[in-house]
Amino acid sequence: MRFKQKTVKLSRIDFGDESFRITTQKNIDNLMDSINNVGLLNLPLLIEKDSGYTVVCGFRRIEACRRLGWAGVEARILYSDTQRLECIKYAITDNSLQRPLNLIEQSRSINMLSGFFKDFNILTKELSAMGLPDNQSIIKKIKEICHLPKSVQRGILSNTISLVIALELGRLKQEAGESFAKLFEILKLSLNKQREILTLVKEISLREDISTLKVLENNVLQEILTNEDLDRNQRIRKIRIYLKQRRFPVITTAEKEFEKQLKKLKLGNQTKLIPPDNFEGTTYILKFSFTNLIELKDRKATFDALIQNPCLEKILK
């Protein structure tokens, strides 16, 4: 690496040029305290350009100095003929040596490098040498992250949206993907529940021939989501019930009728009548629990009475 070291006026640094930015970290309070107390231990890396300087490494350090009111900063200056690929490698390495890169940072790194390597095998080796993923399938998935809506990227950073779900949201229209991201951010759903809600909404969209966004913007769903009298778990439960009822209206009607007749049977805690899955079959299961012969005789009496109960006949029809 060819560079010279000198003090550069902050006014000559282009803060708007983030061509080599890898980090997603924004908070610099602790960094400001450190620099204010002990100075810059690791000098930023800049590259000369016609109108001044572009930051290669040290965006947060330079911003901290600016907020501290410094007029200039000691920096390492790359010569203007330094190749762009070299600058990218310096930027990635500088960040990855400090900490493991998150998925957004990895995506930025992969996208920066991929334009220089037509051969995917060579790209994989370059990434591996810098401590980035070397599995080609994973690389392709991570590369897509940079092109996702910002709200989805924020969900990935906050660990409220998994990579798998994020990529699925990226295949939707942008407004729909952002609406899902907002929903998942509010509800803090597990992966399984995210997948369940995403699937239900997409199936409702197809069944009713409307957009996924229109399903999400439904007044009932939005009222549940914004109801401050409900805690998070209550909101999740109500939203799942609403979507299931809308997706499977026939099954929902059958469930309600079954529960209505089941209450009339008054079976008690030791007797359970289990309907077929999704009410799509004709086979019911009757379960009895007992600990001795006396209880078993009681269950037999329950069984005999159950057979004669007209509510059971309604259920089975």
Per residue in 260-315, pLDDT (tens digit) is 888 888 888 889 999 887 676 789 899 999 999 999 998 888 898 888 899 888 88
| Residue 136 pLDDT > 80 | yes
CATH code that applies to domain 1-99 = 3.90.1530.10
Give me the sign of the Cα torsion angle 213, 218, 221, 222. positive
Nearest to 272, CA basis, from 262, 257, 282:
262
Going by their DSSP bridges, the two strands 3-9 and 72-78 should be labelled as antiparallel
pLDDT score of 253? 73
Q: How many CB atoms lie within 10 A of CB 108?
A: 26
Say which amino acid occupies 42: N
The pLDDT of residue 50: 80
The answer to whether 216 touches 182, Cβ cutoff 8 Å, is no
pLDDT at 77 over 90: yes
How many whole angstroms separate alpha carbon 168 and alpha carbon 195?
Answer: 10
* 76 membership: H or E segment, kind and range: strand 72-78
Q: How confident is the model at residue 256 (pLDDT cuts 50, 70, 90)?
A: confident
The pLDDT tens digits of the residues spanning 161-182 come to 999 999 999 999 999 999 999 9
User: According to the model, what pLDDT value does residue 249 have?
Assistant: 80
Report the C-alpha gap between 315 and 283 in whole angstroms: 12
How many other C-beta atoms are found inside a 10 Å radius of the C-beta of residue 103?
A: 20
Amino acid found at 71:
A
Q: Give CA–CA dist 154/148, Å, rounded.
A: 10
Half-sphere exposure of 150 (CA within 13 A, CB side): 1
CB 271 within 8 A of CB 286: yes
State the pLDDT confidence band at 224, using cuts at 50, 70 and 90: very high
Q: Return the percentage of the chain with pLDDT > 90, whole number.
A: 68
Residue 254 has pLDDT above 80, yes or no: no
Residue 7 phi, psi (nearest 5)? -85, 130
Cite the DSSP H helix spans in the chain. 29-38, 59-67, 84-98, 103-114, 120-129, 136-144, 150-157, 163-170, 174-187, 191-208, 212-216, 219-226, 232-247, 249-265, 293-308, 310-316
- Segment among 233-237, 248-252, 283-287 with least mean pLDDT: 248-252
Predicted pLDDT at 261: 86
pLDDT at 264: 87
> Could you give the CA distance from residue 237 to residue 214 in angstroms, rounded to a whole number?
21
Q: What is the pLDDT of residue 177?
A: 94
